[in-house]
Chains A and B, each alone.
Chain A
Amino acid sequence: MGISLSSFEYDSVEYVSGPLLFVEGGDRFPAGSLVEITDKKGGVRLGQTLEVSRDKAVIQVLEGTSGLGTTGTTVRLESDIIKANVSRDMIGRVFDGLSRPIDGKPDVIAEARLPVAGFPINPISRSRPDEFIQTGISAIDCFNTLVRGQKLPVFSEAGLPSAELVISILNNSTVADDSKFLVIFAALGITRREQSIYQKNLVTGDRNLIAFLNLANDPVIERLLTPRFALTVAEYFAFELDYQVLVIMNDMTNYCTALREVSAAREEVPGRRGYPGYMYTDLSSLYERAGMLKGSEGSITQLLVLTVPDGDITHPIPDLTGYITEGQIVLANHLHKKGVFPPIDVLPSLSRLMNNGIGLGKTREDHRELANQLYACYAKGIDVRKLITIVGEDAISETDSLYLEFANRFEKELINQGGDAREINQTLDIGWDLLKDFPKEQLTRIDKDTLLRYYSVILEDGSISSI
């Protein structure tokens, strides 16, 4: 039992396995504290206490346990609670998953030290997010409108261009004032290839950017803290300095896997598919840090990318995420195969805050109705597409083939836009153009007055006529 007199230091390691290390008699460590672990050769790594008691402390080693043993390893208390250094000077810098600079420049001088776990926002302090963000992507702007302060995940699959989509959103989003706009990028176990796509595209222009990188070959457990560092910095910029902060986290699936790894090592009772029962709570402690506060100019908007394992949307990771976030953008393989970019499937996609951010004065008065109508027609078209795989193309009615044709054009002309950005008006006009193939009576989701105003055709002689 060795407690050194100078500080709380123990050399009584009694168990090492997976991400965990048990210290006998670690009762001087506060719960959730940050500890420094020194191995036989003098190498230093960080850890966090998960459980403390009279007899022992359970420590989650952030940088892997390889090389640690029961003798020669010392554990020392670093700080009571894990805190992040935050500073205006962080803009333009690149950090590792534990917020240490890796761009060869010196450490930033902290303006404040804030606990990375954060505190829950008092619900009555939140203000309702209702400011439209134009992303330039029709499938998002028209059907799944993003608003400031929202948290929206992109459900991707292996082999789909999620990074390209995120970059396209970033590059085309119009923001009133660039100087108060900040992108915080948290890489969670992404590959070198994805990283280089982001790197190439994020640093262009004079966008404010802060990056936290935990790449695929970086320590797995570190990933559990990376988003917390990123969000703590985000909160500082948003709520203390009035920045509009966009936090991109890619890929949340890797985060959840790390969570499962620790849970399994602690021999906890697993929930669905081996993921811990508290995963919902854990994820919400990240996602719920998006939002806006009353009386504050700043906001935190989150764009999360997660790879849906095997495209199964009922898998716990997308499922629990979907229950917390305010909608989801779903990428589909079948669209990608057809060469549609972005390959967004609007049917399962949703933005819950859309209604707050659209309509007269924000986008256009016909937005809601038009989106509903396009959506309903597309859904019907997809039904017909399924039907003809059974009965064949000849067996469907004339009306049905109208919907089928519509669905094809919808994907080709509205969803597909390549790398170009579209104004919201442009998107809506394309929508009206697609609806012209339908007789008026079929358009039941649109109000009579709106129809009268927008549903018109240009006759051969050039005049405009409402039908």
Chain B
Amino acid sequence: MNPGSIYKISGALVLAHGLKEAVLNEMVEIGELKIPGEIIRIDRDTCYIQSYEETAGLLVGESVVLKGEPLSVVLGPGLLGTIFDGIQRPLNKLKELSGDFIKRGCIVEPLDMEKKWNFNPVKQPGDVVKEGDIIGIVKEGAYFEHRIMVPIGISGTIEEIQKGDFSLKETVARLTGGIDLTMTWTAAVKTPIPCVEKLDPDNPFLTGQRVLDFLFPLATGGSAMIPGGFGTGKTVLEQSIAKYSLADVIIYVGCGERGNEMTDLLEEFSELKDPRTGNPLMDRTVLIANTSNMPVAAREASIYTGVTIAEYFRQMGYDTALIADSTTRWAEALREISGRLEELPGEEGFPTYLSSRITSFYERSGYIRCFSSEERFGSLTIIGAVSPAGGDFSEPVTSETLKVTGTFWGLEKELAYRRHYPAINWNTSYSLYSQLLDGWYKKKYGIEFINLRKWAINILFSDGQLQQIVQLVGPDSLQDDDRLILETANLIKESFLQQSAFDESDAYCTLIRQYIMMSAIKKFFETANKIVKEKKSFSEVSDLKERKLILELKEHSDDEILEKFDLNLDKDED
């Protein structure tokens, strides 16, 4: 195929002539440096290419070569524990090639093609397999079972299947008709990996964060957004979720954020253990780092790269979670490219297709029935951070994301200024999954759990209204029972909603412990309420021993709390 030639270079946009057989979204190599790029518009003989690397130094007339395939990821053993850039180049390989700074035109394999993996077949010759069927298992890390599956669109009868150590290049099974299967899949990132059907998400996605799990639960297979201005603790919260949530695989996409944050994450994840399994967290994590100073177009791709990898693990039947920080930077990359294409802008210069792009991204989440002959379910939960410009939630990215996500965890500057972390505003946040999930909570802890949540939300809501009065007339003019509500709300904020991500014992809180803690606060309220009603005096309330205990709640074990507050709860295993 004849190469085309560069006609125009403007920032990350390159125009080329002479690429007759080009199709939309096809990858190209630009110039002598072989800079990767993607065709994003074709206008007669002119191809509009977004470059995945810096274009400085390119000359008009340099060649452009078609690669024949869209932007794709390679999926297989070796993904876990690796840190990639936005177009799935492993950063350690880039370091070997170009040192501490990333130079241009580095071409590296996404996965190590030489390394041998121990392939254990679960099928035999003669077995009929369909797309998505598991044919073998590879142990990845200490415990993870990487399930090797028949690629989507392929089926047949197994003629031959291997056992033993193989590299990713080698064939591990042969189907009738001469179809050779290796341990890898290749998938285009902008097309979702399909599933049989999406089911209602009715299991909670537990994060170990009290304010999230107890008040505004997310469903496994649902989607959540975390909007917050700078300094509200978005990243710390997302990292806590990545560390402690109950998922089999976590994909963390650092999209247009700080380099030091990725370093932090990398170091912490290598040191930290999964609180439930005791394995290093990195063993269940894939990191995608496209920091803010890395090329813009690759930033746009990084979100898709991440979600496709997550879908692959979901297809194996795992509960996966994609955490993206921050989708605003991704939207800004869209805006930047759209601006260069001279497209008619929508609100604040964002392209008019912003809404559909955001929707189709979040809709890749879901609790699904996987393609497979035997029944298998998997889930993908998406949690996206949004960085609203100027903290203004009416800006396009925030408002478009609001429309599609089921859970809203709104971070607030005022709370962060008070060092109330996580700075989630309990009055504006919501979860649309509450009702779907109630069944699960009811089964586990009984209706009391749901009532307890309602009680807590109610207290916090009343507190919000009373605070307005306090602002005007001061707290002393309130009725005693109103003052008790203020006091109780205060205790909920201080000892329940606040949770320190940096305190080892407090960073992660099981659901049963959350239940016990909140029950204790309610018990205090009931005791105090009795005093207020009978004695018509508030001063005794602040001296109650229960009140003091609640302030120290975090220091006591579950059993101690149960005993001290004389609570009788159905204690189920968490």
Q: Given contacts A272-B389, A391-B472, is CB(A319)–CB(B230) below 8 Å?
A: yes
- Give the distance in Å from the alpha carbon of A355 to the alpha carbon of B236 in the complex: 12
- Are B101 and A119 within 8 A (Cβ)? yes
Is the pair A129, B260 in contact by a Cβ cutoff of 8 Å? yes
Query: How far is the CB of A124 from the nearest CB of chain B, in Å?
Result: 5
Q: Is A120 close to B, CB under 8 A? A: yes
User: Provided the pairs A31-B55, A125-B100, A277-B349 are in contact, do residues A53 and B7 lie with their beta carbons within 8 angstroms?
Assistant: yes
Contact A314 B92 (CB under 8 A): no
Q: Considering only CB atoms, which chain A residue lies closest to B547 in the complex? A: A441
Annotate A362-383 by CB proximity to B: 1 below 8 A, 0 otherwise: 0000000000100110010000
Which residues A146-183 have CB closer than 8 A to chain B?
149
| Given A54-B60, A375-B419: A122 in contact with B95 (beta carbons within 8 A) | yes
Are B293 and A372 in contact (CB-based, < 8 A)?
no
Interface centre among A31, A128, A296, A444 (most CB of B within 10 A): A31
Q: Does A190 contact B (CB under 8 A)?
A: no
Given contacts A271-B335, A350-B231, contact A122 B101 (CB under 8 A): yes
Q: Assuming the A-B contacts A54-B60, A271-B349, are A390 and B101 also in contact, with contact meaning beta carbons closer than 8 angstroms in the complex?
A: no
How many A-B pairs fall under 8 Å by CB? 205
Q: Which of B91, B230, B267, B474 has the most CB of A within 10 A?
A: B230
The residue among A50, A284, A320 with the most chain B CB atoms within 10 A of its own CB is A284
From B8-16, B114-122, B193-201, B216-224, the one touching the partner chain is B8-16
Q: Known contacts being A30-B57, A32-B57, A271-B348, is A52 close to B8, with CB within 8 Å? A: yes
Task: Tell me, in angstroms, the Cα distance from A123 to B473 when the chains sit together.
Answer: 53
Q: Could you tell me if A27 and B264 are in contact, using CB atoms closer than 8 angstroms?
A: no
Contact between B418 and A379, CB atoms less than 8 A apart? yes
The answer, yes or no, to whether A194 is at the interface (CB within 8 Å) is no
- Categorize the interface residue count of chain B: 35 or more
- The reply on B476 being an interface residue by CB < 8 A is yes
Q: How many Å lie between the Cα of A115 and that of B59 in the bound state? A: 17
Does chain A have a CB within 8 A of B336? yes
* B345 at the binding interface (Cβ < 8 Å): yes
User: Cα distance A395–B475 when bound, in Å?
Assistant: 9
Please give the distance in Å from B126's CB to the nearest CB on chain A: 46
Cβ of A334 under 8 Å from chain B: no
A269 at the interface (CB under 8 A from B): yes
Among A433-461, those with CB < 8 Å from B are: 441, 444-445
A322 to B257 Cα, complex, angstroms:
12
Minimum CB–CB distance from B238 to chain A (whole Å) comes to 14
Q: Is A281 an interface position by the 8 A CB rule? A: yes
Any chain A CB within 8 A of the CB of B176? Answer: no
**Interface flag for A429 (CB, 8 Å):** no
B569 adjacent to chain A (CB < 8 Å)? no
B339 cross-chain contacts in A, Cβ below 8 A: 268-269, 277-278
Give a binary string over A271-304; 1 marks a CB under 8 Å from any B CB, 0 the rest: 1100001101100110011010110100000000
Residue of B292, B339, B473 ringed by the most chain A CB atoms within 10 A: B292
CB distance from B215 to the nearest CB of A (A): 21
- A328 x B231 contact (CB < 8 A): yes
Judged by a CB distance under 8 angstroms, whether B78 is at the interface is no
Q: Is B329 an interface residue (CB 8 A)?
A: yes
Contact A123 B9 (CB under 8 A): no
In this complex, what residue of B is CB-closest to A117?
B56
Q: Which residues in chain B, 274-318, are within 8 Å of chain A measured between CB atoms?
A: 289, 291-294, 296
Asked if residues B61 and A27 are in contact (CB atoms below 8 Å), the reply is: yes
Cα distance, A322 to B413, chains bound together (Å): 13
B103 beta carbon closer than 8 Å to chain A: yes
B419 touches A124 (CB 8 A): no
- Chain A residues with Cβ below 8 Å from B387 are 323
Check if B102 sits within 8 Å of A387, measured CB to CB.
no
Given the known interface contacts A277-B335, A319-B389, the answer about A284 and B260 at a Cβ–Cβ threshold of 8 Å is no
| Interface-centre pick from A33, A123, A239, A281 (highest chain B CB count, 10 A) | A123
Inter-subunit contact A51/B10 (CB<8 Å): yes
B 414-457 binary contact with A (CB < 8 Å = 1; else 0): 00011100000000000000000000000000000000000000
In the complex, residue of chain B having the shortest beta-carbon distance to the beta carbon of A53: B8
Query: Is A31 a contact partner of B551 (Cβ separation < 8 A)?
Result: no
B91/A124 in contact, CB under 8 A = yes
Q: Is the CB of B474 within 8 A of A277?
A: no
Query: What 0/1 pattern do residues 117 to 135 of A give for CB contact below 8 A with B?
Result: 1111111111111000000
Within 8 A of A (CB), among B53-88: 54-61, 83
**A31 vs B7: C-alpha distance in the bound complex, in angstroms?**
12
Chain A residues, CB < 8 A from B264: 128
**Proximity string of chain B (348-359) to chain A, C-beta cutoff 8 Å, 1 when within and 0 when not:** 110000000000
- Chain B residues lying within 8 Å of A129, measured Cβ to Cβ, are 260
Bound complex: CA A2 to CA B7 (Å): 20
* Any A CB within 8 A of the CB of B263: yes
A31 near B9: Cβ-Cβ < 8 Å: yes
CB distance from B429 to the nearest CB of A (A): 21
Given contacts A314-B390, A328-B231, contact A122 B260 (CB under 8 A): no
Counting CB contacts under 8 A, is B258 at the interface?
yes
A residues less than 8 Å from B230 (CB atoms): 319, 322-323
**Chain B contacts of A280 at CB under 8 A?**
256, 292, 329, 332
Contacts A284-B291, A441-B551 aside, 17 further interface pairs with beta carbons under 8 A come to: A31-B55, A119-B103, A123-B266, A124-B92, A125-B100, A128-B263, A268-B339, A271-B348, A285-B292, A289-B293, A296-B100, A314-B392, A316-B390, A326-B260, A328-B231, A375-B419, A390-B471
- 22 interchain pairs (CB within 8 A)? A30-B57, A52-B59, A53-B7, A54-B7, A80-B57, A119-B102, A119-B103, A120-B293, A121-B293, A122-B99, A123-B91, A123-B289, A124-B263, A268-B339, A277-B349, A288-B259, A288-B292, A315-B390, A324-B292, A379-B418, A395-B476, A441-B551
